[in-house]
Structure 1
Amino acid sequence: MKFRDGMWLPAEGKRLEYAEEVYSVTEKEDGQGLSLFCPTRKIHNRSDSLNLSTLTIDIEAPFDGALSVSTTHWQGALNPGPHFELFPAGKPEPGKINIQKSDKSRTISSGSISATVKTADHDFAIKFHATDGSKELTSLLNRSVGFAYSPATSSPMQLADMRNLEHYIFTQTTLSVGESVHGLGERFGAFNKVGQAITLWNADGGTSSDQAYKNVPLWISSRGYGIFIDTSDKVELEVGSERCSRVQTSVLGQRLKWYIIHGPSPKDILQKYSILTGKPGSVPSWSFGLWLSTSFTTNYDEATVNSFLEGMKGRDIPVEVFHFDCFWMKAFHWCDFVFDSEMFPDPAGQIARLKASGLVKKVCVWVNPYLGQASPVFAFAAAKGYLLRRKNGDIFQWDLWQTGMGIIDFTNPAAAAWYVGCLHSLFDKGIDSIKTDFGERIPSADVQWYDSSLDAGKMHNYYAFLYNKIVYEALQDRFGKNEAVLFARAATAGTQRFPLQWGGDCESTPEAMAESIRGGLSLGLCGYSFWSVDIGGFEGYPAPWIYKRWVAFGLLCSHSRLHGSNSFRVPWTVDDDDASEQGCSKILARWTALKARLMPYIFSQAQEAVRLGIPLSLRAMCLEFPDDPTSWYLDRQFMFGDSLLVAPIFQESGEVEFYLPKGRWTSFFSGETKKGPGWFKETHKFDTLPLYVRENSILVLGKSGETRTVYDYSRDVEVHLFHTTPGTKTTLVNSAGDDTEVLQVDDGGDSLIDQSVLQGNWIEAIDQLPRVVKFYSTD
């Protein structure tokens, strides 16, 4: 929201007041912070203190490397929930806090970050900087903290009745020359958010608009800090789009709180952010295999499902998880958890037969948090009080998505328990995983939640957290802490704890693939370790070349699912069963096999991603190369873990341009070595793309021909050393994710110190390319 018309005038219909000076500073009794008393005009004499508003700014030190900044106008205003679940693993002990006072300023330090408040000369200035003085991060300067009335008031007496007035609090942090801003959820537009107006409000808008399914109030700056806005309410940001040199954050209400987190690296920022909102959950090794869906509106029964899986097996494409989308239930009945008896007369038996056949190991089904009135379950849920109501007592209903649809009120403990019971009935039938679709279209007007203390506006985004938490914890209760897997669409801060997320409804175009990549990169910079995409695109009928390019990209995401809307995504339906080496089936088989071979590396990197609160894939280049200015603008490539660089291809011709940061990079496919930094052009068929291994990497791979996802990651594997130096290490994990041993390069830099952890016979081979390869084999 813009509050000004250019630099000099307020926007039409807005009245603005700003903190003009820091009149007094009070140290908190617990010694953990400062409270700043800020009048909205400069106080030169005693009469200036009358008939004016003030703002209170509280700066506190919650833990090392972070400061919280709370701005309040009227402190008597209520602050209803829901509030984000902060510090879910427990609040850390306060770190090194230091408060210093001088004649002209007051400084509070929290470990590596400090805030210096100007207290002299009737000026307003708060500067955030590294405690060691090495870098200024950002500032709150003149006319950067304030509030606004809309419509504009002309007399203070009008404030006696606030019912028809909107009151906003805003802050404006400075943007430095060349600074870039990233994150704010799964955003599909430009990767660098400077110049954009962004509204954090979950919406079902597809991947080709400024709307987002996953709005996360965290952004990361290229200057080494991040800001987390601590509200689930609608947040509006003007990122250099109202004042070019500032990021404006505004909320409707009387208070605004955010945390500024010092890195200095983006990995450090995310690790500290995970202290606030939680670390990503771990996912089992089987979840990294290929998922195959029935697609959305297509027709399918047991014979169709079996034909899909038999066709995949006959083409050497292992499927780890089969997914039943919406129409496992009757039309108009979504989501009543009742299998359509005409299509699925024996669901438990069908699922058991499916698993017994060996065609698939796990089964997933689609659910949502809504309930159509055509289902008999609707009347039951309504009578029990499980559905959201309007203020007059009616069930909230509309015909958007499902006719007469109601919304499960998860603030009612009985409703949540009933929903969990429905999930367990699915688990009893053999379901192993749940796709939690929707949860974005949650009304914020004319609604009354069961928990009447909650604010309807804040519930809009927060609903995604409640919904996914309930389902994820039900999965954990049934299958174990690290065996729970969601496929979730809606998200907000904290839902990284309930993996995994996928990118929503994209079209079957190269442009949509690029949109999806930007979305995955942005979400990863909000602390989400695991992410997937509808391979081939959701909407439309992908041309064979698009499908194959998307397969290559999709199998190098952390998780890989074939899913469409009104057309199947099994490869032989895309290209009339082209059996050639460059046909869809052979290409999918090769990329699926490559991911299987990469599993020792992938699963080890997954544990590290969870530990640090960072993305596994898609990992933005700036996370690995923050000191390379180019890395902050790269939105068509990514890192898969810390060693593999991936550059998807968007052209049928196979032409691609990509950037390699400083160092030696080895093509995984050809063994050719390139030296960065620099831009490079290549042309690829469909079975390769620019997949480069970073220097000083130890890459553990499954044996040639391995197609399984879950196997012994220390037996029958290959160890590749890429331009390693003495002491280089990697951690080997087993298929349960437990650390086994550390592999370390010896003093010569071209062999391992100890191979005993690896099962089998040691064979050493040095190929003709500039890399050293070590093979393990039980033969």
Structure 2
Amino acid sequence: MRRWWRAGRSVLLEYEDATLSVTHLTDAIARVRATPADFLPRRPWSATPPDDAFPPVEVAVEATGDGVTVRSGGGLAVHAAATGARVAVLHRGQTIMMDGDGGGPAWHADGRATWTHRMPPDENYLGFGERTGLLDKRGQRLACWCTDRYEYQGAGVDPLYQAIPFYLAVDAAGRSHGVYLHNTYRSVFDLTAQREQRLVMAVDGGELDWYVMAGPTPAEVVTRFTHLTGRMPLPPRWALGYQQARWGYDSAERIRAVAADLRRHDIPADVLYLDIDHQDGLRTFTWDPEAFPDPAGLAADLAADGFKLAAVVDVGVSHQPEGGYDVFDEGHRKGYFLTEGDGLLLRHVWPGLCAFPDFASPAVRQWWGRWYASLLDRGVRGVVNDMNEPAMHDLPMDHPDSARVEPPLDTPHDLDADHAEVHNVYALLENAATDAALRDLRPDERVLRLSRAGGTGIQRYAAVWTGDNGSYWEHLEMSLPQLMNLGLSGVAFAGADIGGFFGDCGPELLARWFQLGCCYPLARNHCARGRAAQEPWVWGAETLDACRAAVRLRYRLLPYLYTLLADAAETGSPVLRPLLYHYPADRRGRQLADQALLGRDLLIAPVLRPGVTARAVYLPAGRWYDTRTGAVHDGGRHVLVDAAIGDGLPLFARGGGVVPSGPVGRYADELPLNPLTLDVYPDRDGEAEGELYEDDGASMAHTRGVRARTRYSYRDGVLTARPVGLLDAPARLVVVRVHHPTGPELTRLIDGGKSWTVRA
């Protein structure tokens, strides 16, 4: 180190062959950058705000013989070593990460740059966005590159559709920190050097730039990461309902028949999907005039029966130089498509050769967003941005030798960027365009948005699903850690296709997938054209009963689930959580991937293998109530529970929680929350607490404060309700059920309103 100096809110440290920058954005978040040349300017698609968007943080700088330490008042310290630009990070006096000997930043002849940290032997690593396999990613090499994985197989497939270079580290004592690699080029996290205890972050271009977030709890890390990268908007309440989709619902009559079957079989449902079948010649933003002659009439008829209609949008725009397709004609005339050499970049997607919008351009994003009016004006209330990695083929899609390809890395984009830099934010920028357009087209309405691909911060614009999974037991089992790691990576509103997209789902697998899938934040049944049907009724009465019971459980819990989504919108907290989220020091539960917490107060233990009629469930410390049988267990151990298909999902309530639920209607907003049921599960001290979030469920009034949270506390046999917010709770009946470890359940029925107290 030659010298150091302050530059605004940063401390810069000059070494012989590099410059290091340390910036405290808050008392618990620091940014560390290194470059052999000049620091790069901020890109407009950065997932994080400019440094000066944060309030100033007072830091102390201490220089000693072994380097320079920059410390915030909250106890987050970054120590830069005297040689090698190596760093160590401490929080409240404890080292939470360090480079160690041989670590630190490095620049290589092939253009890559790496930063090597020490990987302690007792540390677990979670997050990393969308991944296959189990929860802990220690021992793996993970690439961040949005990739079309058509019909992907197995737990070793990497990468997938989402590129989120963030991890949550948890040490043996349960102390946590997070690291976000702020770089949109292809990056790799290499956690394979376990014996050497090295964790390597590598980037193919751009800058070595990362943020560290102190905990010490996992919840605090996730809150701080989403403070940096954004949080999800609250979706409409109906988006938490059951959703039915299929690539192959190819006419308005077919959609009407599915809607009628859902109602006839008494399966609550809220959303029906139109895949590319609804398009004229598979061209995006069009309607097939024969199969869907009156989309507005279809949407209105479905709405009268409680259904919302969602439709797919693909980024590939059919290349039609002869004219007659407005989307291509206008985009080509204005120069809005990616180019290759002297012409357009053309590759094959569903309609044939397609051009691809340059979403790096603000003008292109604004133009693209206007086309969503062609859907919304016909009654569509949900949009699905698909094939946006971008997905493309070198030959027609039905050609036996057709192969997936990507735009060349040197493809030019707006703002003097190339595709190597833009690829991982291509879908993110498309969804930013969608979000801006929907807010403009429907300023006081919440429209459901889904995206298959995305980068860091995708939760600000859309929910996601895990892409083209298969109808395999392995994919059912894998979906739980997939969604938990997405939640830890900031993406709380996500789901996997119930039943699997590819393959043929049999009755037992379908029933088990419904039992788990109805606990996904986003619960959508979806499968591919040409595969076995997997609507709940196709396998007969027993499977139908199991699927219907799972859906009805979800609808009964909608008040609880909606409260969790509101929490995610406010704090970034996941909906599906690994046990370590609340019990990080529990060594027996921290790596479990076959069960999860649904919020803080419910624990699910799905059956993930065929032929199983009982399973072991690990219960963390405390008291736990089996919601199916009423049995009460002390935690910190495994219990064996019945788990035949007819027994339903093994579901446990935490002692100390109050869980709100409501009546089950045909769709989410058919019935008012009357009666409201409050299940009180006292802990060992006889106490419990919980919350209920409420708003109108559809408009943006909640952003203007028209919402309410009612906090419930149970002590000394008395349950008290205290609402906070501008929205008055309506007059309604409240069913209070206090569950006791010994003796009968106590039930009271009261007239609820605003604040109230009842002795249970």
TM-score, structure 2 as length reference: 0.87
Give 1:25 shift.
3.7
**In 1: Cα distance, 2:62 partner to 2:256 partner:** 71
Please say if 1:203 is aligned against 2:147: yes
> Which residue in the other structure is 2:644 paired with?
685
Q: Is the 8 Å Cα contact of residues 328 and 340 (structure 1) preserved in structure 2? A: yes
Aligned match for 1:601, one of 560, 577, 580: 560
Please say if 1:220 is aligned against 2:179: no
> Which residue in the other structure is 1:252 paired with?
204
For residues 620-679 of structure 1, give each alpha carbon's deviation from its aligned partner in whole angstroms, at most 9, with x where no partner exists.
222121222234311111111111111121123233333211111111111111221122
Aligned match for 1:622, one of 568, 572, 580: 580
Q: Is the 8 Å Cα contact of residues 360 and 422 (structure 2) preserved in structure 1? A: no
> Which residue in the other structure is 1:106 paired with?
68
Give 1:739 shift.
4.3
**In 1: Cα distance, 2:691 partner to 2:680 partner:** 14
Q: Is the 8 Å Cα contact of residues 399 and 405 (structure 1) preserved in structure 2? A: yes
> Which residue in the other structure is 1:310 paired with?
260
For residues 414-472 of structure 1, give each alpha carbon's deviation from its aligned partner in whole angstroms, at most 9, with x where no partner exists.
43333222211211111111011121137452654451412321110111110111112
Give 1:507 shift.
0.7
Give 1:125 shift.
4.8
Aligned match for 1:489, one of 441, 449, 452: 452
Please say if 1:364 is aligned against 2:364: no
Please say if 1:517 is aligned against 2:486: no
Q: Assess, with a 3 A threshold, how the Cα gap between structure 1 residues 175 and 763 changes in structure 2: closer, same or farther.
A: closer
Aligned match for 1:646, one of 575, 600, 604: 604
Give 1:572 shift.
5.5
Aligned match for 2:419, one of 456, 460, 470: 456
Alignment partner of 1:628: what SS?
Answer: coil
**In 2: Cα distance, 1:90 partner to 1:438 partner:** 36
Q: Assess, with a 3 A threshold, how the Cα gap between structure 1 residues 521 and 144 changes in structure 2: closer, same or farther.
A: same
**In 2: Cα distance, 1:490 partner to 1:253 partner:** 21
**In 2: Cα distance, 1:614 partner to 1:89 partner:** 24
> Which residue in the other structure is 1:46 paired with?
none
> Which residue in the other structure is 2:385 paired with?
436
Counterparts of residues 365-444 of structure 1 (less than 5 Å): 365-373=311-319, 376-377=324-325, 379-381=328-330, 383-441=332-390, 443-444=406-407
For residues 154-191 of structure 1, give each alpha carbon's deviation from its aligned partner in whole angstroms, at most 9, with x where no partner exists.
xxxxxxxxxxxx32221111111210111111101232
Compare 765-774 and 234-243 and name the one that shifted more: 765-774
Q: Assess, with a 3 A threshold, how the Cα gap between structure 1 residues 647 and 386 changes in structure 2: closer, same or farther.
A: farther
Q: Is the 8 Å Cα contact of residues 765 and 772 (structure 1) preserved in structure 2? A: yes
> Which residue in the other structure is 2:6 paired with?
28
> Which residue in the other structure is 2:398 paired with?
none
Compare 688-697 and 670-679 and name the one that shifted more: 670-679
Gaps of 5+ in 1: 1-22, 40-53, 151-165
Give 1:494 shift.
1.1
Please say if 1:60 is aligned against 2:18: no
> Which residue in the other structure is 2:296 paired with?
348
> Which residue in the other structure is 2:708 paired with?
740
Aligned match for 2:122, one of 178, 182, 201: 178
**In 1: Cα distance, 2:143 partner to 2:288 partner:** 39
Gaps of 5+ in 2: 392-405, 698-705, 753-760
Q: Is the 8 Å Cα contact of residues 713 and 735 (structure 1) preserved in structure 2? A: no
For residues 558-593 of structure 1, give each alpha carbon's deviation from its aligned partner in whole angstroms, at most 9, with x where no partner exists.
121111002465535631xx22xxx22222221221
**In 1: Cα distance, 2:273 partner to 2:448 partner:** 13
Q: Assess, with a 3 A threshold, how the Cα gap between structure 1 residues 251 and 101 changes in structure 2: closer, same or farther.
A: same
Q: Is the 8 Å Cα contact of residues 207 and 516 (structure 1) preserved in structure 2? A: no
Q: Assess, with a 3 A threshold, how the Cα gap between structure 1 residues 279 and 421 changes in structure 2: closer, same or farther.
A: same
Q: Is the 8 Å Cα contact of residues 594 and 608 (structure 2) preserved in structure 1? A: no
Q: Assess, with a 3 A threshold, how the Cα gap between structure 1 residues 728 and 739 changes in structure 2: closer, same or farther.
A: farther
Give 1:692 shift.
0.7
> Which residue in the other structure is 1:271 paired with?
223
Q: Is the 8 Å Cα contact of residues 543 and 574 (structure 1) preserved in structure 2? A: no
Q: Is the 8 Å Cα contact of residues 314 and 385 (structure 2) preserved in structure 1? A: yes
Residues paired across the two proteins, number: 709
Give 1:317 shift.
0.8
Q: Assess, with a 3 A threshold, how the Cα gap between structure 1 residues 65 and 379 changes in structure 2: closer, same or farther.
A: closer
Q: Is the 8 Å Cα contact of residues 107 and 116 (structure 1) preserved in structure 2? A: yes
Q: Is the 8 Å Cα contact of residues 227 and 261 (structure 1) preserved in structure 2? A: yes
Give 1:282 shift.
1.2
Q: Assess, with a 3 A threshold, how the Cα gap between structure 1 residues 761 and 137 changes in structure 2: closer, same or farther.
A: closer
Q: Assess, with a 3 A threshold, how the Cα gap between structure 1 residues 90 and 638 changes in structure 2: closer, same or farther.
A: farther
**In 2: Cα distance, 1:682 partner to 1:727 partner:** 26
Give 1:318 shift.
2.2
Give 1:33 shift.
3.4
Q: Assess, with a 3 A threshold, how the Cα gap between structure 1 residues 57 and 649 changes in structure 2: closer, same or farther.
A: same
Q: What is the one-letter code of the residue matched to 1:27?
A: W
State the identity %. 21
> Which residue in the other structure is 1:261 paired with?
213
Q: Is the 8 Å Cα contact of residues 45 and 429 (structure 2) preserved in structure 1? A: no
Aligned match for 1:327, one of 277, 299, 305: 277
**In 2: Cα distance, 1:259 partner to 1:539 partner:** 38
> Which residue in the other structure is 1:20 paired with?
none
**In 2: Cα distance, 1:372 partner to 1:730 partner:** 52
Alignment partner of 1:535: what SS?
Answer: coil
TM-score, structure 1 as length reference: 0.85
Q: What is the one-letter code of the residue matched to 2:376?
A: F
**In 1: Cα distance, 2:342 partner to 2:736 partner:** 75
Give 1:405 shift.
1.8
**In 2: Cα distance, 1:773 partner to 1:733 partner:** 25
Give 1:319 shift.
1.8
RMSD: 2.8
Q: Assess, with a 3 A threshold, how the Cα gap between structure 1 residues 55 and 426 changes in structure 2: closer, same or farther.
A: same
**In 1: Cα distance, 2:43 partner to 2:738 partner:** 62
Alignment partner of 2:116: what SS?
Answer: strand
Please say if 1:97 is aligned against 2:56: no
Q: Assess, with a 3 A threshold, how the Cα gap between structure 1 residues 291 and 408 changes in structure 2: closer, same or farther.
A: same
Counterparts of residues 661-672 of structure 1 (less than 5 Å): 661-672=620-631
Q: Assess, with a 3 A threshold, how the Cα gap between structure 1 residues 367 and 773 changes in structure 2: closer, same or farther.
A: farther
Give 1:475 shift.
2.3
> Which residue in the other structure is 2:527 paired with?
564
Q: Is the 8 Å Cα contact of residues 390 and 426 (structure 2) preserved in structure 1? A: no
> Which residue in the other structure is 2:463 paired with?
500
Q: Assess, with a 3 A threshold, how the Cα gap between structure 1 residues 559 and 776 changes in structure 2: closer, same or farther.
A: farther
Q: What is the one-letter code of the residue matched to 2:106?
A: F
Please say if 1:129 is aligned against 2:84: no
Q: What is the one-letter code of the residue matched to 1:475?
A: L
Compare 728-737 and 401-410 and name the one that shifted more: 728-737
Alignment partner of 2:563: what SS?
Answer: helix
Compare 198-207 and 461-470 and name the one that shifted more: 198-207
**In 1: Cα distance, 2:126 partner to 2:738 partner:** 42
> Which residue in the other structure is 2:135 paired with?
191
Q: What is the one-letter code of the residue matched to 1:212?
A: L
Q: Is the 8 Å Cα contact of residues 12 and 20 (structure 2) preserved in structure 1? A: yes
**In 1: Cα distance, 2:133 partner to 2:307 partner:** 37
> Which residue in the other structure is 1:230 paired with?
182
Give 1:483 shift.
1.0
